[in-house]
Structure 1
């Protein structure tokens, strides 16, 4: 098992800025009445390691399950992988033993209203972008439920987001983007008997996505003697 299969390739933040009732309706969730009638709104920004609700198919029903985002302490040839892995690239879904096993039996939907990317403009300047559906609606990122034994011999139950190549609009910010499952294919994706689930995965098209720049952070050059050292301000 090669560590190259599990390389990280998309900045890890997304948002679900929607009410409980909106999420329940979108994903046809079976939910407790208290939850269904609550005024809860989900948080603005979700980051790796955080325990978050994902949509799973259990006992013939779509339900919310709470799982941490990201695979940590993954043993590769007996050595724990140094970095946490938050995404699975679509190109490696079949060749990776970890991803291919989950693809067959443990598929999830991750509700979102946007996700975030950081663009390196030059050596001294970074920009943060929020990327969202042009219709401003909730969308479903394709996800995998990963169950594994970590390097400490503990059983972990988490999720990762599947990514694909970015469309021409998003390539100006980042070369990858989350893979989507369309609403009419939610059930097919969640069911174990889908013949070829990869065929259900699709990319946001050029017209379906929009983005806004949230901030720009620059570095100045501090001159100390004959040395020039960049520092953030």
Structure 2
């Protein structure tokens, strides 16, 4: 599961990192509480070129009559992504990279209170998540959306949640995008135990209106 993200790196730096042509409408950073239905910068590979472009978080299948015609599909399970009608075509032909600096997950205390954790690469390198994307059209309405691919959590994060987003090492970016042939399915696994650093943060992030660097301060 991945339901909130952060992105603090400038769009220009991310475009250079990926060797991608940047769009003009990329979201302004830093952002410390990115939520589903918000715009996010993602990397795609089209016409033999990488593009850093804006998409809405929350995959909208082609048969939806409106963006709210069904469940908000913010995640796609690695175990079923190749067979599920919502995702199978995108899994084959429309994969993307989702740059971030970290993400949030929640546990609960004995009273049922939601306790947020902030999770980010232990070496503070950019986090790159595996995603799939979709162009949705109805009449003149058009929306480009994505979902984050998730897998069963590995030893590093399973004490917090039973699932984690699929994160990709730099040598795997091209394979996930479809530049380097087949084998993307083999990348949909949990990160090594030492990949992430995780710590509790203030519950104020439970509100999707909360903003500011204090959201990722350890408590």
TM over 0.5: yes
Distance (whole Å) between structure 1 residues aligned to residue 150 and residue 33 of structure 2: 19
Distance (whole Å) between structure 1 residues aligned to residue 183 and residue 142 of structure 2: 28
In the superposition, relative to structure 1, how do residues 104 and 18 fare at CA in structure 2: closer, same or farther (>3 Å)? same
Q: Which has the higher contact order (CA 8 A, sep 6+)?
A: 2
Distance (whole Å) between structure 2 residues aligned to residue 183 and residue 53 of structure 1: 17
Q: Which has the higher helix share?
A: 1
CA RMSD of aligned residues (A): 2.9
Q: Secondary structure at the match of 2:20?
A: coil
After superposition, residues 90-109 of structure 1 pair within 5 angstroms as 90-109=78-97
After superposition, what is the alpha-carbon deviation per residue over 1:189-213, rounded to whole angstroms, capped at 9, x for unaligned? 1126732321133321111111110
Whether the 8 Å CA contact 1:163–1:176 is kept in 2: the answer is yes
Q: TM-score, normalised by structure 1?
A: 0.75
After superposition, what is the alpha-carbon deviation per residue over 1:47-85, rounded to whole angstroms, capped at 9, x for unaligned? 100011110112222111111100358868xx943x311
Q: Which has the higher strand share?
A: 1
The aligned residue for residue 169 of structure 1 is 156
Whether the 8 Å CA contact 2:97–2:130 is kept in 1: the answer is yes
- Cα deviation for residue 19 of structure 1 reads 2.4
Q: Secondary structure at the match of 2:182?
A: coil
Whether the 8 Å CA contact 1:73–1:80 is kept in 2: the answer is no
- Cα deviation for residue 29 of structure 1 reads 1.7
In terms of Rg, which structure is larger? 1
In the superposition, relative to structure 1, how do residues 203 and 123 fare at CA in structure 2: closer, same or farther (>3 Å)? same
In the superposition, relative to structure 1, how do residues 156 and 20 fare at CA in structure 2: closer, same or farther (>3 Å)? closer
Unmatched 5+ stretches in structure 2: 205-219
Whether the 8 Å CA contact 1:11–1:117 is kept in 2: the answer is yes
Aligned length: 199
After superposition, residues 31-70 of structure 1 pair within 5 angstroms as 31=22, 41-70=29-58
Whether the 8 Å CA contact 1:163–1:177 is kept in 2: the answer is yes
